[in-house]
Structures are given as structure tokens and as C-alpha cells.
């Protein structure tokens, strides 16, 4: 995957996941009050600014670990 694709993926997946998680947590904890949308958007932005770099920097390490796990798994199955 090209670097541009990785960056685009990180930006899009972090928008989706932080949006879903922040919406769920805000709605459960404070409910649909008068300032729900403003509160949700504020926390969504905070989550987004944390998650996007995490996906970009931690994601490749996680991918290597998953590749390692499945490589080991495929070797065990072939024995």
C-alpha cells in the first residue's frame, strides 16, 4: 500500500471510528440534551486528533504483529 493510501485510510477510518464511539459514549453518559451536538463534535474532534496519529504510527507495528501471528499459524497448520 502506498503512503498516500495509508494516510487516506488513517484519516477516513479515524473519522468513522471516533464518530461512532464518541456519539455512543456521549449519548449514553449525558443523553440527548440541548447541547448534545456541540458536545459530541467537540469530543469527536479531540478523539480524532489522538486516533489519527495513533493509526499512522502504531498501525504498522500492529500489522507486522498480525502478519507474524498468521505466519506462525500457517506454519503450524502445514506440519
pTM: 0.69
Selection from 50, 68, 69, 66 nearest residue 10 by Cα:
50
pLDDT tier at 74, thresholds 50, 70, 90: low
Return the pLDDT at 73: 63
The domain spans of the chain are 3-78
The mean pLDDT of 7-17, rounded to a whole number, is: 89
The mean pLDDT of 12-24, rounded to a whole number, is: 93
Return the pLDDT at 6: 82
- The set of cell numbers assigned to 11 is 484519516
Any idea which residue has 479515524 for its cell? 14
pLDDT digits (tens, 9 = 90+) for 26-71: 999 888 988 999 999 999 999 999 998 888 889 889 989 999 989 8
Give 28-71 as a DSSP string. Answer: HHT-S-TTHHHHHHHHHHHHHHHHHHHHHHHHHHHHHHHHHHHH
Amino acid at each position: 500500500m502506498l503512503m498516500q493510501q495509508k494516510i487516506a485510510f488513517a484519516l477516513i477510518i479515524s473519522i468513522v471510528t471516533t464518530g461512532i464511539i464518541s456519539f455512543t459514549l456521549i449519548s449514553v453518559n449525558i443523553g440527548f440534551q440541548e447541547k448534545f451536538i456541540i458536545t459530541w463534535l467537540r469530543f469527536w474532534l479531540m478523539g480524532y486528533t489522538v486516533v489519527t496519529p495513533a493509526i499512522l504510527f502504531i498501525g504498522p507495528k500492529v500489522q507486522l504483529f498480525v502478519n507474524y501471528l498468521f505466519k506462525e499459524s500457517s506454519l503450524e497448520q502445514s506440519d
